[in-house]
């Protein structure tokens, strides 16, 4: 999956992956894609909800080695 930056949030539990995701996306230019890695099972619901609420696009997800990978394109 195409990405411009990576945020490794492994080891962090809710709500910290979301708080860090929000901070990171703010620093990135519109149109760029962030790869977020989390091993918090809650992130499976939380990340899509965050994307929906903030108007950013979840372009892909995968599960690998016990972690969840999210590809988020900054739209706003």
Partner 1 sequence: MVSEGTFDKGMMAMMIANTAASMGTEVHIFHTFFGLNLMKKTAKPKLPGMYKLFTGMFIKKMNKIGLEDYAGQIKLAQELGVNLYACSTTMGLMNIKQEDMWDGVKVLGAAGFLDIALDADSTMFIG
Q: How far is the CB of 54 from partner 1 (least distance, A)?
A: 5
The DSSP 8-state label assigned to residue 46 in this structure reads: H
Q: How far is the CB of 18 from partner 1 (least distance, A)?
A: 5
The catalytic residue among 3, 12, 14, 61 is: 14
Q: How far apart are CA 17 and CA 34, in angstroms?
A: 13
Q: Smaller CB distance to partner 1: residue 12 or 28?
A: 12
Binding site for partner 1 (CB under 8 A): 9, 11-16, 18-19, 21-23, 49-50, 53-54
Q: How far is the CB of 20 from partner 1 (least distance, A)?
A: 8
Establish whether 51 is a catalytic residue: no
Residue 70 neighbours by CB under 8 Å, 6+ apart: 35, 36, 37, 38, 43, 47, 58, 60, 61
Structure tokens at 17: 């992956």
């Amino acid at each position: 999956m195409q990405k411009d930056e990576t945020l490794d949030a492994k080891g962090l539990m809710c709500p910290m992956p979301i708080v860090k995701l929000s901070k990171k996306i703010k620093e990135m230019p519109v149109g760029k894609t962030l790869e977020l890695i989390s091993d918090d099972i809650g992130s499976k619901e939380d990340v899509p909800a965050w994307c929906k609420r903030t108007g950013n696009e979840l372009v892909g997800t995968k599960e690998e080695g016990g972690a969840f990978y999210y590809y988020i394109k900054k739209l706003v």
